[in-house]
């Protein structure tokens, strides 16, 4: 991690739950503040997974450059340490070009690792242990594996979606190999940036409605065909990327296990649960985040307030 010049450069983070409106605000602020977006979305890193991850459109990416999108194939994992390193490189590169780096996304672990400067535990993977843990998840279900993690490291377990078996396995791997919870090993060294975090929220029922509408739009845009194309390209159902929200449920439909209507309802239900989970990472009580309720404060007013915060910092 390096700083640019003698004075710490600025970094704007825009956070909040899915479907709240982060992309729209980011585009508007980037145009006003000469910024570019550094994505903090753990699924938008995968090529070919466009509709189900709600990637910025081609037009939006032409309007404002986005970084750390489409950097992996679906069968190429990206570790948290790798993401953090690449994010710092992107931020430093933008600062060197006198651009405002804007960290934008709903993956709380990605955002926090960058803005808080996590020291990621250097624990090499243990293939035998991982195989055993994955077998346990297969036999007893992801809930049982998550419960085991909760008994060893409740703080980390609270932050990991139980559906994300890969991350649960990794956290258990760290606990079992080191004898210490991952949460205790993740020391923090603040990065050399002047950071402002802007959080967007809406009333929960409004968010759920917007998320439902987004799922319907994804289906209309061809999500089923996108998942089918990935499978035909040779990407197996077992891949962590293919267990992503939306892809797992459509996969069940394509395998003949679930009618499409039921699969869509499951996506909506799981998206609502994911929104609740995101608020474990982005807490409305967090004093480091300037929160704006988009139902109470119109987007232009939020934009003006954010511009004032950044200009004051600059």
The pLDDT of residue 127: 84
User: What domains, with CATH codes, occur in the chain?
Assistant: 9-119+187-313 (3.40.50.300), 127-185 (1.10.20.140)
Assess contact for 41 and 66: CB atoms under 8 A. no
Q: Kindly give the interhelix angle for 247-254 and 260-281, rounded to the nearest 10 degrees.
A: 160
Rounded Cα distance between 17 and 108, Å, is 9
Identify which of 121, 104, 91 has the alpha carbon closest to the alpha carbon of residue 18. 104
In degrees, to the nearest 5, what angle opens at C-alpha 231 toward C-alphas 242 and 260?
Answer: 75
The pLDDT of residue 104: 98
Tell me the sheet residues that pair with 37.
66, 102
The pLDDT of residue 5: 40
Tokens of 277: 């989970």
Assess contact for 22 and 200: CB atoms under 8 A. yes
Reading the chain (314 residues) residue by residue, the pLDDT tens digits are 444 444 689 999 999 999 999 999 999 999 999 999 999 999 999 999 999 999 999 999 999 999 999 999 999 989 888 999 999 999 999 999 999 999 999 999 999 999 999 987 767 778 899 889 989 888 998 899 999 999 998 988 988 888 788 889 988 988 898 888 877 767 788 999 999 999 999 999 999 999 999 999 999 999 999 999 999 999 999 898 999 999 999 999 999 999 999 999 999 999 999 999 999 899 999 999 999 999 999 999 999 999 999 888 87
Identify which of 138, 140, 162 has the alpha carbon closest to the alpha carbon of residue 149. 162
| Phi-psi map region of 34: left, alpha, beta (phi>0 left; psi -120 to 50 alpha) | left
Identify which of 54, 69, 82 has the alpha carbon closest to the alpha carbon of residue 274. 54
Q: Which whole-number Å values give the CA distances from 219 to 3, 45, 234, 306, in the listed order?
A: 43, 21, 22, 34
Rounded Cα distance between 292 and 106, Å, is 16
- Length of the chain, please? 314
Q: Which residues contact 115 (CB under 8 A, 6 or more apart)?
A: 11, 13, 103, 191, 195, 197, 288
Please report where in the chains the tokens 């390096």 appear, as a residue.
2
The pLDDT of residue 46: 98
Rounded Cα distance between 85 and 67, Å, is 13
3 state SS for 53-91: CCCCCHHHHHHCCEECCCCECCCCCCCHHHHHHHHHHHH
**166 membership: H or E segment, kind and range:** helix 165-178
Q: Which residues contact 282 (CB under 8 A, 6 or more apart)?
A: 15, 16, 17, 108, 111, 199, 289
Q: Which residues contact 194 (CB under 8 A, 6 or more apart)?
A: 8, 9, 10, 11, 313
Helix, strand or coil, per DSSP, at residue 294: coil
């Amino acid at each position: 991690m390096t700083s640019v010049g003698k004075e710490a450069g600025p970094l704007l983070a825009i956070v909040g739950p899915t479907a709240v409106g982060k992309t729209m605000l980011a585009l508007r602020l980037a145009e006003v503040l000469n910024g570019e977006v550094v994505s903090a979305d753990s699924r938008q890193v995968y090529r070919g997974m466009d509709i189900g991850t709600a990637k910025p459109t081609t037009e939006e990416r032409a309007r404002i450059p986005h970084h750390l999108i489409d950097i992996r194939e679906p069968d190429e994992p990206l570790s948290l340490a790798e993401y953090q390193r690449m994010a710092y490189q992107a931020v430093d590169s933008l600062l060197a070009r006198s651009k405002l780096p804007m960290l934008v996304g709903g993956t709380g672990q990605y955002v926090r690792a960058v803005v808080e400067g996590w020291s990621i535990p250097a624990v090499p993977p243990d293939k035998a242990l991982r195989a055993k843990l994955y077998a346990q998840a297969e036999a007893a279900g992801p809930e049982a594996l998550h419960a085991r993690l909760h008994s060893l490291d409740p703080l980390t377990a609270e932050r990991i979606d139980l559906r994300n078996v890969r991350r649960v396995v990794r956290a258990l791997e760290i606990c079992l190999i080191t004898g210490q919870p991952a949460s205790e090993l993740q020391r923090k060294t603040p990065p050399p940036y002047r950071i402002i975090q802007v959080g967007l929220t809406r009333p929960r029922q409004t968010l759920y409605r917007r998320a439902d509408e987004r799922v319907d739009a994804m289906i209309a845009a061809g999500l089923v065909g996108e998942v089918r194309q990935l499978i035909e390209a040779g990407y197996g159902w077992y891949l962590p990327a293919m267990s992503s929200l939306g892809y797992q449920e459509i996969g069940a439909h394509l395998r003949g296990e679930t009618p499409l209507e039921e699969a869509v309802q499951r996506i909506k239900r799981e998206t609502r649960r994911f929104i609740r989970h995101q608020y474990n990472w982005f807490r409305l009580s967090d004093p480091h985040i300037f929160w704006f309720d988009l139902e109470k404060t119109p987007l232009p007013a939020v934009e003006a307030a954010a511009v004032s915060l950044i200009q004051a910092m600059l």
